[in-house]
């Protein structure tokens, strides 16, 4: 809050219009700092100054999430930091997104995420969602404790490119092959790439159950999703 007040005072006193690059840098810093008030203020400023909202989002906010994602991966940031950064990111997104023309975004990937039935551990999935959002994916979050039928229904309705399944327990991980099997039976398996993750999941297990990708953590999941999306586009 203190940073935000300083920022507002600075603008009121000096009336300075930042350059685009400076503004993007400020947005990046605000996301890294997890400062949601400052993020909202900067996003509003971007609109006021006629800055391309999509560029503000991707070159400003998303860059901040990338930094946090790398820091988390390297053990320099922790879940509390990521959650606050995600909150700041969403604050800016709320302001910018209504002004973004979908055709300008170049977003080509839709991801359906959920924690499998019987499992309410959704911190990892929530961190993943924010990283995917920042990367420009169109993310549909089914939440936690999601029944296999819900995944199937949503795939039919939303037609995602990627299905991301998360499980933190050895019991709930057994739900993953059932979901994949259901998709096969329903003739939906070829339509979607499936990636899996969570504490008890391994690359071997992912392969065994017929998933297309596995990520040991949220930052790696973004890379895997991008790779799977590329594969899918080539196959399509």
Q: Which residues bind other proteins (CB under 8 A)?
A: 34, 75, 78-81, 83-84, 87, 116-120, 123, 126, 145, 169-175, 199-202, 205, 208
Closer residue to other proteins (CB): 5 or 120: 120
| CB of residue 67 to other proteins, shortest distance in Å | 16
Q: Are 89 and 139 in contact (CB under 8 A)?
A: no
Q: Are 188 and 206 in contact (CB under 8 A)?
A: no
For 68, 145, 152, the CA distances from 60, given in Å and listed in that order, are 13, 34, 35
Angle, CA of 163, 166 and 167, to the nearest 5°: 145
Closer residue to other proteins (CB): 36 or 193: 36
For 93, 149, 211, the CA distances from 41, given in Å and listed in that order, are 12, 42, 42
DSSP-assigned letter for residue 198: S
| CB of residue 49 to other proteins, shortest distance in Å | 30
| CB of residue 200 to other proteins, shortest distance in Å | 5
Local structure of 188: helix, strand or coil: coil
Q: Are 79 and 127 in contact (CB under 8 A)?
A: yes
| CB of residue 13 to other proteins, shortest distance in Å | 28
**H or E segment to which residue 136 belongs:** none
R_g (Cα) of the chain, nearest Å: 19
| CB of residue 187 to other proteins, shortest distance in Å | 25
Residue 26 has which token pair? 């400020």
| CB of residue 79 to other proteins, shortest distance in Å | 5
């Amino acid at each position: 809050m203190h940073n935000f007040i300083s920022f507002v005072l600075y603008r009121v006193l000096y009336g300075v219009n930042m350059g685009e690059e400076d503004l993007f840098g400020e947005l990046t810093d605000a996301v890294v700092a997890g400062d949601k008030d400052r993020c909202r203020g900067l996003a509003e400023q971007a609109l006021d100054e006629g800055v391309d909202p999509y560029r503000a989002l991707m070159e400003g906010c998303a860059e901040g999430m990338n930094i946090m994602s790398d820091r988390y991966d390297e053990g320099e940031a922790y879940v509390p930091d990521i959650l606050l950064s995600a909150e700041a990111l969403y604050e800016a997104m709320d302001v910018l997104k209504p002004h973004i023309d979908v055709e300008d975004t170049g977003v080509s990937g839709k991801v359906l995420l959920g924690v499998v039935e019987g499992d309410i551990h959704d911190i990892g999935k929530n961190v993943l969602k924010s990283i995917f959002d920042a990367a420009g994916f169109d993310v549909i979050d089914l939440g936690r404790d999601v029944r296999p039928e819900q995944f199937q229904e949503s795939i039919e309705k939303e037609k995602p490119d990627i299905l991301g399944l998360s499980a933190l327990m050895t019991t709930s991980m057994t739900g993953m092959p059932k979901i994949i099997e259901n998709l096969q039976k329903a003739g939906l398996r070829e339509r979607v790439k499936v990636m899996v993750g969570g504490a008890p999941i391994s690359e071997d297990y992912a392969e065994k159950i017929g998933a297309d990708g596995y990520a040991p953590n949220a930052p790696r999941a973004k890379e895997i999703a991008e790779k799977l999306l590329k594969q899918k586009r080539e196959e399509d």
